[in-house]
């Protein structure tokens, strides 16, 4: 099955649930490291702050070639639309820093809906431990591009 067909099928089952909590993963085009400086990574941080009227950010981490975003969708908002807007805002800011660069994001995104009874703090710990697992830092305290509501 071609890649585009699989992507399309994933989207068929996707729906927004008011108050739903989602773990979103967005990957840079061809897994190229697009967020190699603090300024570049802050483009995503500013974007998710801009959409805070549509989704509450519980936790995030910006990795060189992807981002993880744990968020709670506010009532009346569509998951795909909120992620699309965050990606678009990030791209606009990122292109100001890298005007000669090509595309930023792969199309689509991966989402996982979390149930209310799931341990959100454990999901947040998993997200912010990404730089450790990737060998980017020896301590989360030394990595600037993450935040969590609980910390």
Would you say domain 16-129 falls under CATH 3.40.50.970?
A: no
| For residue 25, pLDDT beyond 80 | yes
Mean pLDDT value of segment 76-105: 95
Return the minimum-mean-pLDDT range out of 3-12, 73-82, 86-95: 3-12
Q: Say how far apart CA 25 and CA 46 lie, in whole Å.
A: 17
Classify strands 110-114 and 146-148 as parallel, antiparallel or unpaired: unpaired
| For residue 1, pLDDT beyond 50 | no
Could you give the maximum distance between any two Cα atoms of the chain, in Å? Answer: 46
């Amino acid at each position: 099955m071609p890649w585009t067909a699989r992507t399309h099928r994933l989207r068929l089952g996707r729906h927004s649930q008011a108050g739903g909590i989602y773990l979103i993963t967005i990957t840079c085009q061809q897994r190229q490291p697009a967020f190699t400086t603090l300024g570049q990574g802050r483009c995503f941080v500013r974007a998710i702050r801009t959409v805070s009227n549509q989704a509450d950010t519980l936790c995030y981490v910006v990795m060189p070639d992807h981002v993880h975003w744990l968020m709670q969708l506010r009532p009346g908002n569509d998951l795909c639309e909120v992620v699309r807007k965050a990606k678009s805002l990030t791209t606009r800011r990122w292109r100001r820093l890298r005007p000669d660069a090509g595309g930023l994001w792969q199309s689509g995104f991966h989402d996982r809906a979390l149930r209310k009874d799931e341990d959100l703090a454990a999901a947040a710990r998993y997200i912010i431990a990404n730089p450790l697992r990737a060998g980017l830092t020896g301590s989360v305290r030394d990595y600037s591009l993450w935040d969590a509501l609980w910390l």
